[in-house]
Structure 1
């Protein structure tokens, strides 16, 4: 704690924060073992750190150590320190810890002045040598962005494929086959219709939530590092019943409930991923992404590239999109996430795709934002003939899928709008004799346009649909790419349909 941000300071400008250690009093019954220590006294700092490390080692944390120091120089080269007086700086310089502790060492016969001078000289030389090494291209080569202009982009994703992050036996409570949810799913119909085309009852159908569950529980029994957490994840089974059956299968430290703090949920997941673990944090409603904005937009996507790919980020962030719970619980913010470089983004709309995409996301080493529509958790598999396979399979991220073939117009959908597009296609056929080709995007980032362009050669027209509001929609970006890549095949401009630009 050097007492300053840039020009702002905690004392007098932040209520209740003049002594940071007092914050601990509001956190838990032992005040986080909060303590303020004189950062100018090396022995006091060493003693405090040893005691705090002992508490952490005894699993009695967290701890809060407020180490009081002072910043002599400005925040940056442009900082002239006009917000503080010369007298203030001089007062702190007069008790500079290097000088004051040196005097204490001499007074107690631990060292003499010549020894201290030699230490200062050696330290200065060490810093100078380190600087020379850091700036020597032969020792610390910098990226040559002239020779390799795309290098930063190449490091954005690691694109790994890993069965497990560590080679040890996963901790589970029971054999997988004995899990009650697994046994229940085994009795379900993995395709929504019988041989005559009649739909099975909703209770009998293998649902989208089952597809997500199967992929996740498979990985829990394969990767010992995998953990999952969020609001109401354990016991309740998740707000939308995706995790029912996991509580029985897993010890608490692998599946647990988190406080209502989306920033903490995603932030700790990032830390766990950086340390080599695989993790599935959950945001209960898409609208709450804003509460974890810095973590999702500024931390999760960037650490792989900033580390030169030394760090992997195997984080699959589940985000549930509402539809009927009012203005603050019903928004599709997938477009916000697609705007951020460094994040892979998927939005499955069928049980088959949900399982395959989750398998692929968990097999990878990159951050994936996995959107789920609350309209679709209970829907059965209507497209993949043969139903959802019982075994393991992956759907590569970035590949769209034709859900219905047609000749007159292409409709590209994201998320739950797939089913509205199917209804619209029926209407076009019945009223106008037109056949629509329906393509489900499935993935947003990455996205392979080849299938869409091939369809466009046949139909000449394309409609793009999602539940996100039309203004600023990712569909506008997709429409631009389609226009640029398939201009010669277009008989009319692409049309984007989204939610109205209202608070809905």
Structure 2
């Protein structure tokens, strides 16, 4: 018989599976179980800091992993130790990770399973559970674009399906036909919240209907059912790329993490699921079938225990990390050696918007797999027409209209980077980045520091006032990002700078937010080389030189400053256009202030918390003895930006700059 009832009511259909594969499934489940049992002892002894137990859920991790090819990416969660062990990561590296040792995967910078490894094609989760679902979309998109016929498997719990990222990621995957298996481990509780307080449909698999997506419900405690069904589904996806939602019915036998316990779980529920223990049941089944003897069982356990103890010794004997400020700072960004592309002097006068469009188009030619994504950017050409004609030039695969889901698209860009593909994402308006704020500041910004994975992503950010667009289409929100280590922030004021800096941003393997002032798009013209060229980050442009005062600005504020000086020809000022805010050209700032003895910083953002505050503090710290007057900041009002012209003019700093400048000179 191929179908046999084991001792504890799990039905195993082993048709088509040979003895060696059955024993391999058992060993692969037993190993994470034994590691967990050891970790729980070490947790009580204070030798590790935290533990998220997957006891009772091993069949899912092991079955899915064994159904995947080793070159296919997997994105696991807290309770998926079996993914890591089945991919044969050396145990001493896992133990070092949990002990915060250097040979772990995050060099002591993050804990537990918050890491990834390209070597084993594993991408770890972050505490904000949802983003990895969109990241899986990006990896799968890269596979589809490269015709690799690969599947990406991403895990989440039933609690994580309540997050908006889940719905965005499924929608994108469905619309784009991406080869992703969304694996939901429905284990009964999101921390202490039961499923009837998490969702109101019968099964999570039902949600696939709304996305036009195939779904399956699988017994997550039945290792044979998990392995055979996922193997069949994965093979089908490789042949016909598409997303599939898999709901694994299982149960969490221990607390969300060990400190939380399980007192909120009814005892009869615990008892009923204990009878469906995936390891104990399968072990009994193998013995009943004569495939595993008591002696063999003891030998397998002894070998695993020896492997655990030997690797624990390696991890214990590794020296503790010695803090090194240089190492920490150097790992925030991937190293980038700027390559200068020069231009000839054939130039034409174009607008800022044309320069950005040209720069983007030439970068698409420079990088033949560069993908751009955004709302309405394909046939429509974007709301500002920057990508007009791009579909005809580069095709729909590389110029991708997106659903209105900023979070999932930023995450998709991160997934593309993991798979080695550059991308540019257009936020239709910079204001809309709030809908994707979490993956920008917690995923893109922190990945290289955490596990040496860069985020090769440029976010284009049309921003700024002066166009009567009101509170949700006019913000200059660069300060949200200049304070986030791991991000680079570019904010050009002229067409020449915009084109060259955009090329550099795309070449840079780190995440770059590229701010484009809407009010300058069609109002500023300049001679711009027709060639592809680059400009370096961290180099301010000195637009005027004088002895009276240093004016520091960027974006539209640069033009406000220049207009003020034109109206006051007796004021001799250094005018610094910062061009990039992160990195910041502090050398140019200090040199100018030391020369003039006065500094005024002008920006369009509101005052408190704006970058002018940090620049002012830097000047006070580094140039205090050179100053003849206090550093002055000029910024917009402490209100949201209003719509009607007369209120917007009152809001903007432009109308106050001349008075404040003259007050500073008279000090």
TM range (shorter): 0.7 to 0.9
Deviation, 1:117, is 3.5
On the 8 A contact 1:467/1:498 being kept in 2, the answer is yes
Partner of 1:465: 602
In structure 2, the partner of 1:178 is: none
Question: Quick check: 1:474 aligned with 2:611?
Answer: yes
Q: In the TM superposition, what whole-angstrom CA distance separates every residue of 1:30-67 from its partner, at most 9, and x where no partner exists?
A: xx211111111011101221132123213341111111
Q: How does 1:309-388 map to 2 (within 5 A)?
A: 309=452, 311-323=453-465, 324-382=468-526, 387-388=527-528
The 8 Å contact of residues 347 and 529 in structure 2, kept in 1 or not, is answered as no
Question: CA separation of 1:162/1:439 partners in 2, compared to 1, >3 Å: closer, same or farther?
Answer: closer
Query: Quick one: structure 1 residues 160 and 80, their matched pair in 2 at CA, closer, same or farther if it must change by over 3 Å?
Result: same
Aligned to 2:640: 503
| Superposed counterparts of 1:418-457, under 5 Å | 418-429=558-569, 433-457=570-594
Which residue does 1:7 correspond to in 2?
192
Partner residue, 2:291: 110
Does structure 1 retain, via aligned residues, the 8 Å contact 2:347–2:528? no
Question: Does structure 1 residue 242 correspond to structure 2 residue 392?
Answer: no
Given that 2:578 and 2:585 are in contact with CA atoms closer than 8 Å, whether structure 1 keeps it comes out as no
Q: CA deviation at 1:371?
A: 0.8
Partner-residue secondary structure (3-state), 2:528: coil
CA–CA distance in 1 between the matches of 2:221 and 2:274?
Answer: 11
Aligned in 2, Cα 1:325/1:341: closer, same or farther, shift over 3 Å? same
Task: Give the whole-Å Cα distance in 1 for the aligned partners of 2:599 and 2:247.
Answer: 60
The whole-number CA distance in structure 2 between the counterparts of 1:73 and 1:124 is: 22
- What CA deviation, in whole Å up to 9, does each residue of 1:223-270 have, x standing for no partner? 232111111111111221211232221021111101100001101001
In structure 2, what is the Cα distance between the partners aligned to 1:413 and 1:33?
53
Ranges in structure 1 where 5+ consecutive residues have no aligned partner: 164-187, 191-204
Structure 2 alignment gaps of length 5 or more: 1-184, 340-345, 642-667
In structure 2, C-alpha distance between the alignment counterparts of 1:237 and 1:376, rounded to whole Å = 19
Q: Provide the C-alpha distance between the structure 2 equivalents of 1:55 and 1:416, rounded to a whole number of angstroms.
A: 54
Q: Which residue in 1 is equivalent to 2:534?
A: 394
Distance change >3 Å, CA 118–CA 269, structure 1 → 2: same
- In the TM superposition, what are the counterparts of 1:82-97 in structure 2 within 5 Å? 82-97=263-278
- 1:153 corresponds in structure 2 to 329
| 268-277 vs 234-243, greater mean Cα deviation | 234-243
| Deviation of the 1:162 alpha carbon | 8.5
CA displacement 1:185-229 (0-9 Å, x = unmatched):
xxx973xxxxxxxxxxxxxx4111222222222222222321111
Aligned-residue CA RMSD (Å): 2.1
CA distance in 1, matches of 2:337, 2:398: 22
Match of 2:256 in 1: 75
**8 Å Cα contact 1:401/1:439 also seen in 2:** yes
Aligned mate of 2:546, from 406, 429, 435? 406
| Secondary structure of residue in 1 paired with 2:360 | helix
**TM-score normalized by structure 1?**
0.84
Q: Is residue 415 from structure 1 mapped to residue 600 from structure 2 by the alignment?
A: no
Query: How far apart, in 2, do the equivalents of 1:55 and 1:133 lie?
Result: 42
CA contact (8 A) 1:189 1:206 kept: no
Matched position secondary structure for 2:260: coil
Q: Which of 214, 239, 242 is the matching residue for 1:33?
A: 214
Report deviation, 1:481.
Answer: 0.6
Shift of the alpha carbon at 1:18?
A: 5.4
Q: Answer yes or no: is the 8 Å Cα contact 1:428–1:436 preserved in 2.
A: no
CA distance in 2, matches of 1:77, 1:492: 58
For 2:464 and 2:293, how far apart are their aligned partners in 1? 71
CA distance in 2, matches of 1:399, 1:106: 71
SS in 1 for 2:620: helix
Does residue 274 in structure 1 map to residue 411 in structure 2?
A: no
Displacement of 1:321 in angstroms is: 0.6
Change (3 A) 1:278 1:483: same
Deviation at residue 478 of structure 1 after TM alignment = 1.1
Alignment counterpart, residue 100 of structure 1, candidates 281, 301, 305: 281
Say which is worse superposed, 255-264 or 94-103, in terms of deviation.
Answer: 94-103
Structure 2 vs 1, CA of residues 397 and 59 (structure 1 numbering), >3 Å: closer, same or farther?
farther
Structure 1 partner of 2:350: 206
Counterpart for residue 201 of structure 1: none
User: Number of aligned pairs?
Assistant: 449
TM-score between the two structures when normalised by the length of structure 2: 0.64
Q: For residues 3 and 161 of structure 1, do their structure 2 counterparts lie closer, same or farther at Cα, with a shift above 3 Å needed?
A: farther
Range moving further from structure 2, 402-411 or 263-272: 402-411
CA 1:58–1:134 in structure 2 vs 1: closer, same or farther (change >3 Å)?
Answer: farther
Paired residue for 1:195?
none
CA contact (8 A) 1:412 1:439 kept: yes
Asked whether the 8 Å contact 2:538–2:581 carries over to 1, the reply is: yes
Alignment pair present for 1:144 and 2:360: no
Shift of 1:96: 0.6
Segments of 4+ in structure 1 off by > 6 A?
Answer: none
Structure 1 residues 134 and 228, CA gap change in structure 2 (3 angstroms): farther
